[in-house]
């Protein structure tokens, strides 16, 4: 034992381990291991089991059941059975259950914190003070959403049975992020926890039973990736919500392609931590320790790339090294440690391999000379200095306590470095000058931005990424909407072309040289190839360009080039241009109506009505352009969060046959009103309605590249667009086969998809006068700012 003078001399903390006996007793009470939770019953352990281990010691904690396809099927059936009553029980009733879950999480918080720490290796200080309080907060917040859902989204309907798959880094918190909004909106759930960390989910299911959550509302099936895959491919699941790696996310998107399942993906990140020369450097160092060493760096939004302004680089790195020489790695149950164990030896190997590779590629490794326990999954905090942009450690998500260090000179250079990644999850900006912070925040393509702080989370604030960090948000209204059915006005029959008594016009009267419209100019199709356009009576009306891969590449390039300036314009300026487009369309309205009539066989009155509706839609989009505002959230801890609606970037759209002008303009106007630039492929059957529109665009002050039009064969162009990395969103109104193919191809670069799957829409429906398509064309960027005391 150390003497008091010893303690005064060293000023070291003694060990202060949390008592794990209650959690260990619970595990001991299940000597044969755990089964699944299906329809309110805890099933017996299955034939095939695997061990859940404590990564700090390597010792097995419990045996878990490897879920089979049959197990998943039983769980989905139980969830389906429970769905009827649960979806009808009413918001208030659901609110009571969610409230009860929040209360019981608080009452059992110590047990849950210990379980997650034992199972995952993360410090008890974090599970106790961060994970579990946030779990409770999530259920409280969503109890509120259940109560006010009908008032907030009138007529909101749940999706049905949701399959949810979560990773091991925040075991119970990821469960809460998934389960709370799903249940609040009236869905039932089958959840697959991560193989390494399923224990707190099983304990939570026990708590759910204690509060009387109806049987089958929450089902849990343990197992590995194959169990997850069985859930993804189950035909009776309506939505998949996945958090995990980008590679598995892409595989899941490919598997759900063409099935009509809703999908949200919260994937990986490589987030920058940007420090300007006028930052409070001591705070920035503490923030950095939180950003990259919190949870052993196993955090999707970890600030893993330090970008520091050149003039303070040396000072900051020295301060960071000084801080890390006082760093404490140790028993995760010790309340006084900074960092615990990584989740598994596999993860340790993965991190160490990355460090080795980075050093091979020229990086200098620095680690503090501190104690690091042996025998468990412990790694020292690591800095990789002298890295350039191409270094593997700068490009790949490492998911461990490893920080790369790069410097910059100007704000624009910082923005370019920060955005030079396939990910777009989070960013942290440090400067005492608010103007600098906000100027940079506006330039970053990231879903969450923390100003002078890092790793803040709250249930009221949406969380999620851009680019390959996935799509959809968790938390806040946008997170809730991901569990509410999108209620599109689908129509039974496709194209309107009935009652065709229109007089045919000789082809020669409207024959023109076919062109695409790219970068603000009419452009000859690649190779001058054309395709005929048929009228409704079967005569050839004229020809349009036969778009090729090359035409699409040109159009996407033009759209990408025009996007930043278009997004930077004010909503008012975008509205002015949309009004001007309407003005110019109005002047040509009889010509457009004739075209529609001749192409589709619509009656003169209906053709006129489609043009009128198109004019009105341009007005609607213009109306929204300067009103599509975000929100300001007030999370509980001395911050405000600005939830900005940000354009996705470049959106490509295959326009519907059923309303060749109205469908095209409804989509195009909404997407550009929200700040996107677009590549449109007009209706394959009736392309002239949209291709004529370039004459309107030419006279409407629309900057070149904002709207690009390429005519041609829908299926071939959809494939090229889906495969194109610079297309962020893809809307496909085409037959089911084309949609499935596009979804599958789009999965490879995590595209935001919206597909009709062969159904036709009533484009005259007033729904489209709302902001529904502006929302479809945006992602929310949440900017956290210090506020108040």
Q: Evaluate whether 444 touches 427 at the Cβ level (below 8 Å).
A: yes
Q: Evaluate whether 345 touches 377 at the Cβ level (below 8 Å).
A: yes
Given Mg ion, ligand NAP, none, residue 165, with its beta carbon under 5 to 8 Å by kind, binds ligand NAP
What is the distance between the alpha carbons of residues 761 and 767, in angstroms, rounded to a whole number? 11
How does DSSP classify residue 391? S
Determine, following the binding rule CB under 6 A, whether residue 168 of this chain makes contact with ligand NAP.
yes
| Distance in Å from the first CA to the final CA of the chain | 43
Taking contact as CB under 6 A, which single stretch among the options 162-170, 203-211, 365-373, 385-393 is the one that binds ligand NAP?
162-170
What is the distance between the alpha carbons of residues 162 and 181, in angstroms, rounded to a whole number? 11
CB closer to Mg ion out of 197 and 584: 197
Taking contact as CB under 6 A, which single stretch among the options 224-232, 370-378, 491-499, 538-546 is the one that binds ligand NAP?
224-232
What is the distance between the alpha carbons of residues 176 and 194, in angstroms, rounded to a whole number? 14
**Rule CB under 6 A: which of 231-290 touch ligand NAP?**
232, 243-245, 248, 251-252, 266-269
Q: Where are the alpha helices (DSSP H) in 124-280?
A: 124-126, 132-152, 171-184, 199-210, 225-233, 246-256
Run of H or E including 360 = helix 345-360
At residue 397's C-alpha, the angle toward residues 645 and 316, to 5°, is 85
Angle between helices 132-152 and 91-107 (to 10 degrees): 170
Minimum distance of Mg ion from residue 110's CB (angstroms) = 19
How many angstroms from the chain centroid is the CA of residue 305? 21
Site size with Mg ion, rule: CB under 5 A: 4
Determine, following the binding rule CB under 6 A, whether residue 554 of this chain makes contact with ligand NAP.
no
Determine, following the binding rule CB under 6 A, whether residue 105 of this chain makes contact with ligand NAP.
no
What is the distance between the alpha carbons of residues 73 and 753, in angstroms, rounded to a whole number? 28
Given Mg ion, ligand NAP, none, residue 652, with its beta carbon under 5 to 8 Å by kind, binds none
Q: Which of 40, 228, 496, 712 binds ligand NAP (CB under 6 A)?
A: 228
Minimum distance of Mg ion from residue 114's CB (angstroms) = 13
What is the distance between the alpha carbons of residues 587 and 284, in angstroms, rounded to a whole number? 59
Given ligand NAP, Mg ion, none, residue 253, with its beta carbon under 5 to 8 Å by kind, binds none
Minimum distance of Mg ion from residue 138's CB (angstroms) = 22
Minimum distance of ligand NAP from residue 67's CB (angstroms) = 10
CB closer to ligand NAP out of 118 and 265: 265
Minimum distance of ligand NAP from residue 450's CB (angstroms) = 15
What six digits make up the tokens of 61?
């904690």
Strands 448-451 and 426-430: parallel
Closest residue to bound ligand NAP by CB = 228
Minimum distance of ligand NAP from residue 689's CB (angstroms) = 41
Q: How many helices (H) and strands (E) does the chain have?
A: 28, 33
What is the distance between the alpha carbons of residues 27 and 361, in angstroms, rounded to a whole number? 46
446 to 485: interface string for ligand NAP, x by CB under 6 A? ------------------------x---------------
User: Quick one: three-class SS letters along 603-624?
Assistant: CHHHHHHHHHHHHHHHHHHHHH
Given ligand NAP, Mg ion, none, residue 102, with its beta carbon under 5 to 8 Å by kind, binds none
385 to 404: interface string for Mg ion, x by CB under 5 A? --------------------
Q: Which of 162, 165, 652, 674 binds ligand NAP (CB under 6 A)?
A: 165
Could you tell me the sign of the dihedral formed by the alpha carbons of 127, 129, 132, 137, in that order?
negative
Given ligand NAP, Mg ion, none, residue 251, with its beta carbon under 5 to 8 Å by kind, binds ligand NAP
Given ligand NAP, Mg ion, none, residue 300, with its beta carbon under 5 to 8 Å by kind, binds ligand NAP
Given Mg ion, ligand NAP, none, residue 601, with its beta carbon under 5 to 8 Å by kind, binds none
CB closer to ligand NAP out of 230 and 585: 230
Given Mg ion, ligand NAP, none, residue 595, with its beta carbon under 5 to 8 Å by kind, binds none
Residue with tokens 């160092």: 285
Strands 161-165 and 60-65: unpaired
Q: Which of 83, 99, 177, 196 binds Mg ion (CB under 5 A)?
A: 196
**Rule CB under 5 A: which of 45-64 touch Mg ion?**
52-53
CB closer to ligand NAP out of 192 and 445: 192
How many angstroms from the chain centroid is the CA of residue 120? 25
Minimum distance of Mg ion from residue 381's CB (angstroms) = 22
What is the distance between the alpha carbons of residues 567 and 644, in angstroms, rounded to a whole number? 13
Could you tell me the sign of the dihedral formed by the alpha carbons of 341, 346, 349, 350, in that order?
negative
Minimum distance of ligand NAP from residue 195's CB (angstroms) = 3
Of the residues 108, 229, 300, 658, which is catalytic?
Answer: 300
Given ligand NAP, Mg ion, none, residue 195, with its beta carbon under 5 to 8 Å by kind, binds ligand NAP
Minimum distance of ligand NAP from residue 447's CB (angstroms) = 9
Minimum distance of Mg ion from residue 328's CB (angstroms) = 22
At residue 489's C-alpha, the angle toward residues 483 and 494, to 5°, is 130
Q: Which of 73, 108, 116, 119 binds Mg ion (CB under 5 A)?
A: 119
Q: Name the β-bridge partners of 760.
A: 491
Minimum distance of ligand NAP from residue 481's CB (angstroms) = 17
Spell out the residues 6+ positions from residue 624 whose beta carbon is closer than 8 angstroms to its own: 670, 673, 771, 774
**Rule CB under 6 A: which of 181-210 touch ligand NAP?**
192, 194-195
Minimum distance of ligand NAP from residue 779's CB (angstroms) = 13
Residues 764-777: b if buried by 16+ CB within 10 A, e if exposed: beeebbebebbbbb
CB closer to ligand NAP out of 45 and 330: 45
Residue with tokens 């090229």: 720
Active site residue 698: no
What six digits make up the tokens of 743?
């979804």
How does DSSP classify residue 217? S
Given ligand NAP, Mg ion, none, residue 225, with its beta carbon under 5 to 8 Å by kind, binds ligand NAP
What six digits make up the tokens of 230?
């069985």
Taking contact as CB under 5 A, which single stretch among the options 118-126, 157-165, 460-468, 480-488 is the one that binds Mg ion?
118-126
Cβ of 741: how many Cβ atoms within 10 Å? 19
Given Mg ion, ligand NAP, none, residue 119, with its beta carbon under 5 to 8 Å by kind, binds Mg ion
CB closer to Mg ion out of 196 and 517: 196
Determine, following the binding rule CB under 6 A, whether residue 399 of this chain makes contact with ligand NAP.
yes
Active site residue 266: yes
Q: Which of 300, 653, 665, 780 binds ligand NAP (CB under 6 A)?
A: 300
Strands 382-385 and 218-220: unpaired
Residue with tokens 């007089």: 503
Given ligand NAP, Mg ion, none, residue 243, with its beta carbon under 5 to 8 Å by kind, binds ligand NAP
Q: Name the β-bridge partners of 15.
A: none
Given ligand NAP, Mg ion, none, residue 269, with its beta carbon under 5 to 8 Å by kind, binds ligand NAP
Of the residues 195, 229, 266, 468, which is catalytic?
Answer: 266
Taking contact as CB under 5 A, which single stretch among the options 188-196, 449-457, 532-540, 578-586 is the one that binds Mg ion?
188-196
Q: Evaluate whether 124 touches 117 at the Cβ level (below 8 Å).
A: yes
Burial environment of residue 211 by CB neighbours within 10 A (0 to 12, 13 to 18, 19 or more): middle
Residue 437: strand, helix, or coil: helix
CB closer to ligand NAP out of 248 and 351: 248
How far, in Å, are 476, 516, 562, 588, 698 from residue 520 at the CA level? 39, 10, 10, 20, 7
Minimum distance of ligand NAP from residue 71's CB (angstroms) = 14
At residue 464's C-alpha, the angle toward residues 460 and 469, to 5°, is 170
E strands present in 650-723: 650-654, 677-681, 707-709
Binding site for ligand NAP (CB under 6 A): 165-169, 192, 194-195, 224-225, 228-229, 232, 243-245, 248, 251-252, 266-269, 300, 397, 399, 425, 470
Binding site for Mg ion (CB under 5 A): 52-53, 119, 196
Catalytic residues: 266, 300
């Amino acid at each position: 034992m150390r003497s008091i003078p010893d303690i005064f001399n060293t000023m070291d903390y003694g060990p202060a381990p949390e008592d794990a006996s209650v959690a260990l007793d619970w595990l001991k009470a299940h000597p044969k291991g755990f089964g699944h939770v299906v329809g309110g019953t805890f099933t017996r352990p299955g034939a095939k089991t695997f061990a859940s281990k404590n990564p700090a010691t390597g010792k097995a904690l419990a045996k878990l059941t490897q879920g089979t396809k049959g197990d998943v099927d039983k769980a989905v059936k139980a969830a389906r059975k429970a769905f009827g009553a649960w979806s009808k029980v009413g918001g208030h009733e659901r609110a009571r259950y969610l409230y009860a879950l929040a209360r019981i999480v608080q009452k059992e918080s110590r047990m849950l914190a210990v379980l997650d720490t034992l199972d995952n290796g993360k410090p008890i200080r974090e599970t106790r003070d961060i994970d579990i309080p946030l779990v409770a907060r999530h259920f409280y917040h969503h109890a509120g959403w259940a109560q006010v859902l009908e008032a907030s989204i009138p007529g909101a309907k749940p999706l049905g049975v949701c399959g949810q798959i979560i990773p091991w880094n925040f075991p119970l918190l990821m469960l809460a992020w998934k389960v709370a909004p799903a249940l609040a909106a009236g869905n039932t759930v089958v959840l697959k926890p991560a193989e390494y960390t399923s224990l707190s989910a099983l304990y939570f299911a026990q708590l759910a039973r204690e509060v009387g959550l109806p049987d089958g509302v929450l089902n849990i099936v343990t197992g590995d990736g194959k169990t997850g895959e069985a859930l993804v491919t189950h035909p009776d699941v309506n939505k998949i919500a996945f958090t995990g790696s980008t590679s598995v996310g892409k595989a899941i998107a490919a598997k759900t392609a063409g099935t009509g399942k809703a999908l949200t993906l919260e994937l990986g990140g490589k987030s920058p931590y940007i420090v300007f020369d006028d930052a409070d450097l001591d705070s920035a160092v503490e923030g950095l320790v939180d950003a990259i060493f919190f949870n052993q760096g196993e955090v999707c939004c970890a600030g893993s790339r330090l970008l520091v302004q050149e003039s303070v680089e040396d000072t900051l790195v020295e301060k960071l090294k000084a801080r890390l020489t006082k760093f404490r790695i140790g028993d995760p149950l010790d309340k006084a440690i900074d960092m615990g164990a990584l989740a598994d030896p596999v993860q340790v190997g993965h991190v160490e391999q990355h460090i080795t590779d980075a050093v091979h590629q020229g990086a200098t490794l620095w680690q503090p000379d501190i104690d690091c326990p042996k025998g468990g999954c412990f790694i020292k905090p690591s800095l990789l200095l002298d890295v350039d942009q191409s270094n593997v450690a700068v490009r790949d998500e490492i998911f461990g306590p490893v920080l790369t260090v790069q410097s910059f000179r100007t704000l624009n250079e910082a923005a370019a470095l920060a955005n030079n990644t396939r990910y777009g999850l989070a960013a942290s900006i440090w400067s005492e000058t608010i103007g600098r912070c906000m100027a940079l925040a506006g330039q970053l393509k990231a879903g969450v931005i923390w100003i002078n702080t890092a790793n803040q989370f709250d249930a009221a604030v949406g969380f999620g990424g851009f680019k390959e960090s996935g799509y959809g948000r968790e938390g806040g209204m946008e997170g809730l909407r991901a569990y509410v059915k999108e209620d599109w006005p689908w129509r039974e029959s496709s194209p309107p072309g009935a009652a065709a008594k229109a007089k045919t016009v000789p082809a020669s009267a409207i024959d023109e040289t076919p062109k695409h419209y790219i970068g603000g100019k009419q452009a000859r199709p690649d190779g001058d190839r054309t395709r005929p356009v048929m009228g409704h009576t079967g005569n050839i009306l004229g020809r349009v360009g036969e778009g090729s891969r090359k035409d699409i590449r040109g159009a996407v390039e033009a759209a990408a080039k025009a996007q930043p300036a278009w997004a930077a314009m004010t909503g008012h300026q975008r509205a002015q241009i949309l009004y001007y487009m309407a003005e110019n369309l109005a002047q040509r309205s009889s010509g457009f109506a004739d075209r529609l009539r001749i192409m589709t066989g619509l009656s003169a009155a209906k053709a006129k009505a489609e043009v009128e509706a198109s004019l009105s839609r341009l007005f609607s989009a213009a109306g929204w352009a300067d009103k599509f505002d975000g929100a300001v959230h007030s999370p509980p801890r001395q911050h405000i969060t600005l939830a900005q609606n940000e354009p996705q970037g470049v959106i490509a759209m295959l326009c519907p046959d059923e309303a060749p002008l109205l469908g095209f303009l409804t989509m195009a106007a909404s997407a550009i009103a929200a700040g996107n630039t677009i590549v449109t492929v007009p209706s394959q059957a009736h392309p002239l309605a949209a291709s004529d529109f370039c004459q309107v665009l030419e006279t409407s002050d629309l900057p070149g590249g904002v709207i690009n039009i390429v005519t041609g064969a829908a299926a071939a162009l959809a494939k090229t667009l889906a495969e194109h990395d610079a297309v962020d969103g893809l809307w496909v109104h085409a037959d089911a086969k084309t949609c499935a193919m596009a979804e599958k191809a789009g999965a490879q670069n995590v595209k935001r998809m919206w597909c009709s799957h062969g159904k036709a829409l009533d484009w005259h429906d007033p729904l489209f006068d709302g902001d529904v398509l502006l929302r479809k064309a945006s992602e929310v960027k949440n900017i956290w700012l210090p506020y108040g005391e």
